[in-house]
Structure formats: structure tokens, C-alpha cells
Structure 1
């Protein structure tokens, strides 16, 4: 067997470098989308709080309501800063991944260039057409010559692919560097936004300190106002409890009356049946009873079928009628989707026990939520129901509406436009908000009760 000259020998195995398909390592798109939506909502809430604060500050007298609105605004802005920090973390992750991709691409480019350089040098040394033909014609057989020809053709294609890979890698590298510069610019803008928000928080803290200092300078008037509101709150709670208790007692009386009617009807039906059985029969042939059929003539009893019964709803006397039960279930099915009782409002006091923002040793127990709104704003029923009671507290009106076993309470009204026993529809006006002539505050106290237990209205109302 004849050996080929050394300069004809090509590497039997060529190392083919496959470029990895590099993609941006992004955080889950849903997380970033939710972050963007949250930021937009926070910005809207801050803008609304600013407008509300400007509205109540038209009255030169500083009040606890102003302080609560400012507190709420600061909490919203702090949430916005947290949101911005999360966005910065996302961007930093993108920048780190981009740097890693650029480093990998640069290494791939260097490797491709080195490999291509060796191929070019080898091709230059063996560029003679005589060497090419001699390599093919020196084959031992025709099939061997064909294989050598295909091999040289594949080798040429490999060189072309290497050149194309270098160009493609250079393009990707430039694009990555461009994107990296854009990310760094975006991070700079976000950091500037964070710095601006932090400065606003510091300004609002100073404003809050000044406001607290001013309110503490009128401690006697403030204590008098707190005592008056506590008395009014206690009176309101007592009257609401009395209304609900009266509704329960009335429902119990109706249920007892219905039970007596059913018992009397059943007794009459039994007496009538017994009278028919004891009456003599006109057909004598029926006196002798026919013998009972044999067991063999009886049809076979079907096998028992398992019946799955739904979980029983706890009994409640306020749902003793089908209408009341349906209304309760409909009210429950709309939890988190109920409309707000006023069209424009900001929550200045939430549900539960809170520390007074000025008098740290004093706590306040809010059975519902307090909404600051526009002067003389119309108040709407949040669901279909029946007006259980309309009564005054300190020359201000309260409307209680029953929805099965649920009750909604609308307090601090200048006037009520509905009457006890009246059927109301969702969004029907039930009154107008009272405006304090001394402070200029227009506040609605709104509560929801499940039977006799107050619940947090914010969990029932839809997002603002």
C-alpha cells in the first residue's frame, strides 16, 4: 500500500465548535408585569392621597384626619420605594447575565478566530491544484477517490461555516454590548427615581413632625374631640346592636309562628286521616282482608345507592325564609366585588384597634372604616336589601340595611333619604355625608356586620 506524502495528510477529525444559543436570562415575565402594575397603582394612590391632603388642608386648622392621610401617603411612598428596589434587583440580574454572555461570546470569538487562522494557514500551504488532484488520483480505488473528493468538499464548507460563525458571533457581541449600555442607563434612571422618592419621604416626615407638634399644642381641644367621638361611637354601637337584636327577635317570632302553623296543619291532617280510617266501609267484601302476597311474589329490592349530600349551612334565624337565605348567599358570593358607598374617598381609619397618631397612650377601636370624601357627597347602598332602621346620633343620621344575615351601616349622614322597611337596590342613594363646620372634614363611617359580629369592610369591597 502506497503512503501519501505528509503535506497531503489532513486531520482525520475536525473539531466542530458549535456556538451556544445564548438567550437573555430574564426573571419570570409575570413577576415583572405584576411589579409594573403594582408601581402604576401605587403612583395613582399617592396622587389621590396628595389630592385628598390638599383638599382637607384648605382648612387652616390641622386635624387628625390630615395626619392620617399624610401617614397613608408615606406608607404608599415607602411601598413604591420597595417596588423600585425590586426593579433595580431585576435590572442588576439582567446586567450580570449580559456581562456573562458578553464574556462567553468573546471567548467563543477568540476560539473561532484561532481555529480559522489555523485553517487559513493550512490552506495556504496546500493551495496548489496539483496537490489537490494528486491527493484524489493517488487513491487505491474509484470509491476511495470519491470519498477523498467529498472529504475535501466538506473541509471547504467547514471553512466557510467558520467564517460565517465569526461574523455572527461579532454581530451578537455588538448587540449584547448595546443592550448592556441600555440596561445601565435604565438602572441609572431608576436609581434617580428612588433617590427622589426617598427625598420626598424625608420631606413628608418633617411635615408629619410639624403637624404632630402643632396638634399637641392643642392637647385639650384634641382630648375633648377624642372623648366626643368615643361617646358617639359607643352610642352608635349600642343602637346598632339594638337594631340587629330586634331583627333577630323578630325573625325568631316569625319562625315560631311559622312552626306553629305547620304543627297545626300537620295535626289537622293526622286527625282527618284517622277519621277516614275509623269510618265503616260501605263494601262488605272488603272487611276480610286478602292474604298478604308471598315473599316469592314480591319484586327484589334495588341495591342501596350512596347519596352524597352537600355540607349543611349552619342554621341562622336571620335566614329562616327562602328569600333571606338567597339574599345572604348572594351577598356572600359578591365578597371582594361590592361597590364603595361613596364614589370618591380615601380611607383615613381602618378596621380594628389603632393607636392615636398624636396621643400615643390612647387607642381607638373602629368597628368599620372611616372614609374621607367630598362635602355633601351622596352615599349609596352597596347591595340589595331592606332598610332595618334609620336613627340619629348627635344630630347626624345613620342608616342600617339588612341583607339576609348581613347588615351594612352608613353613619355620619347629614340627612337620610330612605325609611325603615323600604326595599333598596344596589347603588341607590340612602343619604348625604355630613361636613364638620369646624374642621371642614366630610367623613363617612361605614360598617358591615355578619349577624352580630362586625367584619372588615375592606375585604368585601372591590379595589378602588
Structure 2
């Protein structure tokens, strides 16, 4: 009997933890969905401002490809939410049926108890039942029986009331979830139609620029070579800073003072909550090796992310730190490296820089201005994060 009670308790706790986890998943997906909707608004603003330009460019296609990618993520999240809601709705339907069945059984037991009580009253009154006891002990036990009978009536009555209240609550939650699910399905269908239109727009635009594709491929390859050279130069600068921190002793990591160590620990704790390096923008190129967003047969590698932003946008530091270096490399625009303990944040493709090497920097301090390409009038920032010399995916570090 004890084992059965423990098993029932364990199953009840498991069901509670499962419900909490399910609720947390739904909330997390909703937060992601809201963030993606904000990204879509930013991309639409960028595309809207680009419509003022008469000539369509491959940079427009890159932004459009980024929008398609974001739309696909949004549809996937919507589908995940719908699946979780389906599971929740099914679970609530089962709970509702179980409560109805339990309530029916309780009602039957209660009715049976009342009927038996009524029959016993027909035979003899309560007082006569007590007075007919042969001993005092027997009378006392019969008195306890009446008391227990009264308690059981209250228990059954409260149980029925509690079940009815729970049933009403579950049915209300069920109704809300069904409405939420229907809204999500409508939203998802609209997003799918919009995605189809965006893909058609991209294909049409790509066709109109087809004759320029070879030149664009050469441009991509040239940019990749420049990016690789810049990344090598950044790697060299970080290694030199590591060497100096270790007083010329051979090491692959920074030697940190207690203050620098505390700063690095604070930076680590803020993973996923760092501010964006620009106030407004949308990610048009992800971290790592990937097919080019427009010319899918061409592979590109990125040690960071590329953010499309507004013209002459201010660039700001994502965390407090010290300016490690300001780099002007042949064939590229200005780059600022900021050290946060053993972490480095890199801000590439700047037209202006407002800080100097060795400056102490506050979080959100403006350090420069993003470069606007004079050929296509597009403004982008390349943003990277390193742990010592290891490049990290900045998307995992910035706030969503």
C-alpha cells in the first residue's frame, strides 16, 4: 500500500514538472516569435528605404534573402507553438474527462450513502439507535458512527464542489488555448503566403541581375579574401596582446589581473543579454561557414555576423572594457577591438572612430560610425566576439 502511495505521488509530481516545463517552452517560443517579428520590421524598414533607389543591387537581394530566412524561422516557431498547444489541449481534454468520470463516481457514492442513511432512518430513529445499545462502549461507538457519517457527507460534498471548480477552470483554459491555436494557424498561413511572395520577388530580382552574376561572384570572392586577411591580422593582434599579458611567456590565453578576471566573469554572465552594437538593424549574414544568401553555389566563411543598419548609424560598445587596437587594413575600413578580460569584441567596417587605443570604454558608449557604401548606399557593420583567439557566434551573446 505504501509503495502504491509513493508511486501515485511520484506520478503526480512528474505531471506537475511536465506541465511547468511545457509552459516554459511555450513562453520561450513566444519570446522568440516576438523577437523575430521585430527583426522583420527592421528588414522591412531597410527594404523600404532601398526602394527609393532606382537600381536594384545584389545587396538588396542579400537583405531580401535574410528576410526570407527570418520568415522561415518564424513559421517554424509558429509550428512548434501549435504542436505544443495541441499537446496541451489533448492533456486538458484528458484531465477534463478524468474529472467528469471522478465526479460521476463521487456523486454515485454520495447518493448511495444518502439512500442507505434514509433507509436506516425508516427503521429506527437516531436516539433509539443509541438507547438500544447494550453497553456504554457500544453507545459510544454508535455515536462515533453518526459523527463519521456526517464528516463523510461533508467530504463528498466538498469533493464534488472542488471537482466542479477544477472542471470549470480546465474548460476555460482549454477554450483559451483553442482560440490561441486558431490565431496561430491563421498567422502561420498568412506568413506562408508572404514567404511565397518574397521567394518570387527574390527569384524575379535575381533573374533581372543574372547578367551581372559572374561579376558579383568575383566581388564575393574578393570580399572573402579581404575578410580572411583582416581576420588574420586581428588574430595576430590578439596573440601579441596575449604574449604581452604573459610577459613574453608562451601561452594561448590572457594572463588576467583580478580586476580583468572579474570583468571576464561579468561578460560571461551576460551571455544572451548583451546589447546590439547598433540601435537598429537586422542580421543579414550569420556566423561560420555557409552558402552565400544570394549565390547559393558560393560558400562564405564569417568569424562574426553582418548587421544591416541605417545610414551613418552610431556603433556602440556592447560591454565595458579597454580599446585594444584600432586597425586600418589595406582594402578594408576601420576596425575597433575592445578587450573585456579574456574576451574581445570587434567592430568592423567603420567610417569613423571616436576612441583611441588604451581608452576605458563604458557599455553602450559610442565608439564610431558604420560605413555606408557609396555604390549601393547600404550601411553594414561586421561584429565579432573572441574568447582569447577563438571566434564565438555573436548571435548567441546579444539580446533577443
TM-score normalised according to structure 2 size: 0.72
> 1:83 — aligned with what?
77
Contact 1:397 1:416 in 2 (8 A): no
> 1:385 — aligned with what?
323
Residues 36-90 of structure 1 show CA distances to partners (whole Å, capped at 9, x for unaligned) of 3222222222222222232333323222322222222233233223323333333
Contact 1:368 1:456 in 2 (8 A): yes
Would the alpha carbon gap of residues 171 and 194 (structure 1) be closer, same or farther in structure 2, given more than 3 Å must change? same
> 2:9 — aligned with what?
none
Residues 12-35 of structure 1 show CA distances to partners (whole Å, capped at 9, x for unaligned) of xxxxxxxxx999872424333323
| TM superposition shift of 1:441 | 1.1
> 1:26 — aligned with what?
19
| TM superposition shift of 1:374 | 1.9
Number of equivalenced pairs:
377
| Match of residue 92, structure 1, among 86, 96, 117 | 86
Contact 1:434 1:443 in 2 (8 A): yes
Instruction: Indicate yes or no: 2:282 matched with 1:346.
Output: yes
| TM superposition shift of 1:408 | 6.5
> 1:299 — aligned with what?
none
Contact 1:409 1:446 in 2 (8 A): yes
| Match of residue 310, structure 2, among 360, 374, 377 | 374
> 1:356 — aligned with what?
292
Q: Which has the larger radius of gyration?
A: 1
TM-score normalised according to structure 1 size: 0.64
| Match of residue 47, structure 1, among 36, 41, 46 | 41
- Quote the Cα distance in structure 1 between the aligned partners of 2:137 and 2:203: 95
Secondary structure at the counterpart of residue 385 of structure 1 = strand
- Quote the Cα distance in structure 2 between the aligned partners of 1:399 and 1:131: 98
Contact 2:385 2:394 in 1 (8 A): no
Contact 1:416 1:431 in 2 (8 A): yes
> 2:218 — aligned with what?
227
Instruction: Indicate yes or no: 2:54 matched with 1:63.
Output: no
| TM superposition shift of 1:401 | 4.5
Secondary structure at the counterpart of residue 26 of structure 1 = helix
Identify unmatched segments of 5+ residues in structure 1: 1-20, 260-312
Secondary structure at the counterpart of residue 195 of structure 2 = helix
| Match of residue 132, structure 2, among 135, 138, 143 | 138
Contact 1:391 1:397 in 2 (8 A): yes
Greater Cα shift, 36-45 or 166-175: 166-175
Instruction: Indicate yes or no: 2:369 matched with 1:436.
Output: no
Would the alpha carbon gap of residues 171 and 231 (structure 1) be closer, same or farther in structure 2, given more than 3 Å must change? closer
| TM superposition shift of 1:113 | 3.3
| TM superposition shift of 1:170 | 4.0
Would the alpha carbon gap of residues 355 and 87 (structure 1) be closer, same or farther in structure 2, given more than 3 Å must change? closer
Would the alpha carbon gap of residues 119 and 314 (structure 1) be closer, same or farther in structure 2, given more than 3 Å must change? same
| Match of residue 195, structure 2, among 194, 201, 205 | 201
Secondary structure at the counterpart of residue 227 of structure 1 = helix
Q: Which has the higher contact order (CA 8 A, sep 6+)?
A: 2
Residues 234-284 of structure 1 show CA distances to partners (whole Å, capped at 9, x for unaligned) of 3565477568769979999x99xx99xxxxxxxxxxxxxxxxxxxxxxxxx
Would the alpha carbon gap of residues 159 and 80 (structure 1) be closer, same or farther in structure 2, given more than 3 Å must change? same
| TM superposition shift of 1:371 | 2.8
| TM superposition shift of 1:141 | 2.2
Q: Which one has a larger percent helix, Structure 1 or Structure 2?
A: 2
CA RMSD, Structure 1 to Structure 2 (Å): 4.4
> 1:154 — aligned with what?
148
| TM superposition shift of 1:368 | 4.2
Contact 1:385 1:424 in 2 (8 A): yes
Secondary structure at the counterpart of residue 347 of structure 1 = strand
- Quote the Cα distance in structure 2 between the aligned partners of 1:246 and 1:117: 85
